[in-house]
Structure 1
Amino acid sequence: MKTLLLTKEEVDGLICMHEVIGAVEEAYKAFNSDQVVQPDYIGIHLPSPRGEVDFKLGYNKANEVISMKASSGGFIDNPTAHGVPSGMGTILLFDARSCALTCVMDGSLITGLRTGAAGAVSVKALARKNAKTVASIGTGNQARMQIRAINEIMTIEEVHAWDSHPDTLARYKRDIETEFGIPVVTANSKREAVEQADILVTTTRGIGSLVAADWVKAGTHIVAIGTDQQGKQELDPEIFRNAKVVVDSMAQCAEKGETWHPLNKKIIAKDDIHGEIGEILVGKKPGRENDREVTIFDSTGMAIQDNVAASRIYQNAIDRGVGTFFEFFRS
């Protein structure tokens, strides 16, 4: 059996954001339909100036694919010291019927795409139908990806953005306005941005509360992306007290997500969490029920998202004759 190798450039040409959004919806539905085996993911923090490496493993019974992704970030010296990016990713796909390795592909683009798509899926399920304004706390690559994805499923009339680095904020404004034609208002403070939000996106990898509870207006939908390990935090835990809290994975978010903070402070209990987003998508639980609710989507990232998105890329590559085959196993 031959194994397919797909480079970053090849992966980039094999899937679009619209298709990734569909794949992520499929992944969440599978997760809440007893089609997924997904062990806890492992994170390793390496000594400075190195960063962290995460390993995510998942089995999808629906497509009989096992995926394993290694993704790194925060290796700030990589470009100068080693000639490689500061963050990288690799995905391995195995045929679950034989455990043969079917594909090795670059995973750095998939992580960004499926994380952006997750935010868009939550907007479809939980944001007000008349939402028009997005506020972005953080203006890095994932903040751009969130706009790219959300713009696929609604009309964004204006973005209010804040970042602690003025140069990064200025580049974000230029890039979003150039790519999408959406006006970007650069806020003088986090509060100024948050108070304008119909949809609030946080993507900072923060280590403390960045958004205060009294800044968040009624009816806001919050897409909390930056917290995927204990020690990270973006939201005032008080925001959770009266909000409808939806998570991607209850097990992950209660241990490693933004939701850990209000649970740890006993502001909410696990029973107060409304549910997993897949439960809403398959109709087991309602989404937004009125225009006054504050809704929170806590996303830690799931192996099944990588599994479904990478499987679709692999199939597209086979259909289009893209990539290089090599013989990895011999009988």
Structure 2
Amino acid sequence: MADAISITYLSGPDVEALALDDAEILAAIEASLVAQGQGGTVVEPRMHLMPGDGVNGHFNVLRGVVRAKDEGWAYAGVKVVGDFVDNYKQGLPSEMAMLNLFDPQTGIPKAVIDATAITEMRTGALTAIGAKHLAPSKPRVLGHIGARGTAYWNVRLLDRLFDFEEIRVHSRRKESREPFAERLSADLGKPVRATEDWESCLDGADILVEASRLNEPTPLFKSGWIKPGALVIPYGTMSTLELDVLDGIDKVVVDDRGQMRAGPFGALRPHINAGLIDEDGVHAELGEICAGAKPGRERAEETILFWHRGLPTSDIALGAALLRKAAEKGVGMTLPFA
């Protein structure tokens, strides 16, 4: 008779108590990207569940498999994350998530994890690792649009890698952007300036990140603000880019080509729909670069755009890291399944 099956449950407080540090987060995400570049992952394009009834939000459903052979673990995973823009009016986070992990060989359930913090950390780590391979040498100025949960980890992990001389942030609501800048200033130990508009945040920055929260595509990100040699990282759900932005871009990198074909959302969706770029126009997936199969930045004057939509493999990698740490520290609950 088969042994009884149990699952590990990690709540939000458990995830907080485990306190993955910056180095652990970056290492887990880069390992998953290397596995992707070596053919050790399955990435299913995300699906969108629209609740209807006039609700300003949707669910993202992410599915994937990671076989990290070098590290000796493998999981299949499904994450469901709600993305509800107006939640702030009720004092709620706009994004809340759950991650389910399974044995990819047998389908046995292994864990259920509060993935709200995972979503924020893994997005910031993907931004930072993209910049590690694609940013100009010694970038001085970071311009960042957006103040949601993922934005904090973008700035924190980017600054860990580059120690910027100047950090500018902006979001449409003053009551969010100023506390955001104050929190970052305190945590990073350096001034972070909240700007009044997009232009004063982005114009002339070495790395330009866009993580806005728009209800519909709006070209607020002007192509003229991108200086030669800069790195542009747009990942808002709704596109903010002008249609001519690709005219000044030398190299486009994505997290997954398959996600270019899926869904109505994303920074380059209008450009794909207009026939301005397709999968053949993409230089590489970031995983190919991390695995050494494709080059990253090759010239100082290259202007590069890195579009990431979020990988289920990133969620799985951080989930795996949390499970390992939880086992070491005796954190979490073991629940009977069968």
TM-score of the two chains, using structure 2 as the length reference:
0.89
* Matching residue within 4, 11, 16 for 1:12: 16
Tell me whether 1:40 sits opposite 2:45 in the alignment: yes
Tell me whether 1:68 sits opposite 2:78 in the alignment: yes
* Matching residue within 231, 240, 260 for 1:253: 260
Deviations 1:275-307 (A, max 9, x none): 101111111111111221111110100111111
Match of 1:267, as an amino acid?
L
What is the aligned partner in structure 2 of residue 114 from structure 1? 122
* Matching residue within 145, 154, 159 for 1:151: 159
Distance 1:261 1:317 in 2: 43
Report runs of 4+ in structure 1 exceeding 4 Å deviation: 77-80, 83-86
State whether residues 79 and 85 of structure 1, in contact with CA within 8 Å, keep that contact through their aligned partners in structure 2. Answer: no
What is the aligned partner in structure 2 of residue 98 from structure 1? 106
* Matching residue within 233, 242, 248 for 1:236: 242
Distance 1:198 1:40 in 2: 30
Match of 1:93, as an amino acid?
L
What is the aligned partner in structure 2 of residue 142 from structure 1? 150
State whether residues 253 and 298 of structure 1, in contact with CA within 8 Å, keep that contact through their aligned partners in structure 2. Answer: no
Per the alignment, do residues 50 and 261 of structure 1 end up closer, same or farther by CA in structure 2, a change over 3 Å counting?
closer
My pick for the range that moved more, 69-78 or 13-22, is 69-78
Tell me whether 1:212 sits opposite 2:222 in the alignment: yes
SS in 1 for 2:275: coil
How big is the shift at 1:67?
0.9
* Matching residue within 163, 171, 180 for 1:163: 171
Deviations 1:310-329 (A, max 9, x none): 01111111121111111111
Deviations 1:238-281 (A, max 9, x none): 22223111000011035443233222223334322111011111
Match of 1:3, as an amino acid?
I
State whether residues 3 and 327 of structure 1, in contact with CA within 8 Å, keep that contact through their aligned partners in structure 2. Answer: yes
What is the aligned partner in structure 1 of residue 140 from structure 2? 132
How big is the shift at 1:86?
4.4
Deviations 1:150-192 (A, max 9, x none): 1221212111222221222211221111111222233333122
Match of 1:7, as an amino acid?
S
SS in 2 for 1:288: coil
* Matching residue within 61, 65, 69 for 1:59: 65
Identity across aligned pairs (percent)? Answer: 26
Distance 2:259 2:327 in 1: 33
Q: Unaligned stretches of 5+ in structure 1?
A: none
TM-score of the two chains, using structure 1 as the length reference:
0.91
Tell me whether 1:3 sits opposite 2:3 in the alignment: no
Distance 2:94 2:147 in 1: 17
Give 1:165-184 correspondences, 5 Å limit.
165-184=173-192
SS in 1 for 2:220: strand
Deviations 1:19-47 (A, max 9, x none): 11111111112112111122222111223
SS in 2 for 1:241: helix
* Matching residue within 272, 284, 303 for 2:281: 272
State whether residues 248 and 299 of structure 1, in contact with CA within 8 Å, keep that contact through their aligned partners in structure 2. Answer: yes
State whether residues 239 and 268 of structure 2, in contact with CA within 8 Å, keep that contact through their aligned partners in structure 1. Answer: no
| Aligned residues between the structures | 323
State whether residues 50 and 59 of structure 2, in contact with CA within 8 Å, keep that contact through their aligned partners in structure 1. Answer: yes
State whether residues 143 and 201 of structure 1, in contact with CA within 8 Å, keep that contact through their aligned partners in structure 2. Answer: no
State whether residues 85 and 213 of structure 2, in contact with CA within 8 Å, keep that contact through their aligned partners in structure 1. Answer: no
Match of 1:129, as an amino acid?
S
Match of 1:188, as an amino acid?
E
My pick for the range that moved more, 93-102 or 125-134, is 93-102
Deviations 1:106-162 (A, max 9, x none): 010100000000000011000012201100122232222211111221212111222
Per the alignment, do residues 126 and 84 of structure 1 end up closer, same or farther by CA in structure 2, a change over 3 Å counting?
closer
Match of 1:132, as an amino acid?
R
Match of 2:58, as an amino acid?
E
Distance 2:150 2:34 in 1: 24
State whether residues 190 and 211 of structure 1, in contact with CA within 8 Å, keep that contact through their aligned partners in structure 2. Answer: yes
